[in-house]
Chains A and B, each alone.
Chain A
Amino acid sequence: MDYLYAFLVGGGICLVGQILMDTTKLTTPRILVIFVVAGAILTGLGLYEPLVNLAKNGATVPLPGFGYSLAKGAMDGAKEGFLPALAGGLKNTAAGLTAAVVFGYIISLVFSPKSKR
């Protein structure tokens, strides 16, 4: 059952993205930003957490899930104090971000772009 929800929710979020791409003039970087910020705001309003509990990776793998992790970390930190509230967001996403930066850097240094046919 988990898998079905993951599929439906994850697919559904991607579907929204595709519709935004096809029907508006929004460029892809803007769509990414909108998704991450929307995820953070929905988390702040307490609306995203239930989705994560329901669909697990279906809600955390798409980009709103990144916004969710950032906001969730900050909110969890806020329970302990002001400084943890500042640190919480990045702390929660540190592993993924660091991997993205370091591995991305290595990949970019190793490979070269290819001309498209």
Chain B
Amino acid sequence: MSKQKQQQQQTKKPKKEVTKQYEQYVKQFTPKPKYFSNSAKAFIVGGLLCMAALYIQNLLIDSGMSEKDAGAIVTVLLVCLAQLLTGLGVFDSLGKFAGAGVFVPITGFANSMVAPAIEYKKEGPVLGVGAKLFSLAGPVLVCGISAGTIIGILYYFMK
């Protein structure tokens, strides 16, 4: 190792430590999130949402639909509902209340498509809305589809 590099490393290390110390110091001034109430709300709202979805799915199955189709319809319904609520400007209040309870279910994915798109309406229907529809959802789709497909291909070669 050259002398210059050594020196660089020596000066770099204390800087990192200063940052760490400062972060620790800042922590004592920062109020903690309400872990318990946030978690309880997320658990209950998320759970209820899944229960409601199951209830609708069962209704559809009872009316003679196959389980697979009924599942797809439920997904579509949840997505559309979440997007409509986003458009009406209600979803962010729901998210503020329930946090991950509405964010982790598919409703959160639907919201993350409309939320940026609606804001870029004035930039036009193509490069505004059309592009921004995927600014947050794009990464989810890209990573999810890649992971799923790689697993499928591995499965193909291993079977």
The reply, when asked whether chain A contacts chain B directly with Cβ atoms under 8 A, is yes
Residues of A with Cβ closer than 8 Å to B? 2-3, 6-23, 28-29, 31-33, 35-37, 40-41, 43-44, 55-58, 60-63, 65-67, 69-71, 73-75, 77-79, 81-82, 85-86, 88-90, 95-97, 99-101, 103-105, 107-114, 116
Which B residues lie within 8 Å of A67 (CB)?
144, 147-148
3 pairs of A and B residues whose beta carbons are closest in the complex? A74-B152, A10-B50, A14-B46
Q: What's the A-B contact tally at a CB cutoff of 8 Å?
A: 272
Within 8 A of A (CB), among B123-159: 125, 129-130, 133, 136-137, 139-141, 143-145, 147-149, 151-156, 159
Docked-complex contact B51 and A105, CB < 8 angstroms: no
Q: Given A11-B43, A33-B144, A100-B113, A109–B129 Cβ distance below 8 Å?
A: yes
Q: How far is the CA of A96 from the CA of B140 in the complex (A)?
A: 14
Docked-complex contact A18 and B139, CB < 8 angstroms: no
Q: Given A82-B156, A90-B145, A104–B114 Cβ distance below 8 Å?
A: yes
- Chain B's closest residue to A99 (CB) is B76
Docked-complex contact A15 and B151, CB < 8 angstroms: no
Q: Given A36-B140, A61-B106, A104–B99 Cβ distance below 8 Å?
A: no
Q: Is the interface of B mostly helix, strand, loop or mixed?
A: helix
Q: How far is the CA of A115 from the CA of B83 in the complex (A)?
A: 18
Q: How far is the CA of A74 from the CA of B118 in the complex (A)?
A: 33
Q: How far is the CA of A114 from the CA of B85 in the complex (A)?
A: 12
Q: How far is the CA of A7 from the CA of B75 in the complex (A)?
A: 17
Size category of the binding interface on chain B: 35 or more
12 A-B pairs besides A14-B105, A65-B106 with CB distance below 8 A are A19-B39, A20-B100, A21-B99, A37-B147, A62-B50, A77-B152, A103-B79, A103-B83, A104-B133, A107-B83, A108-B87, A113-B89
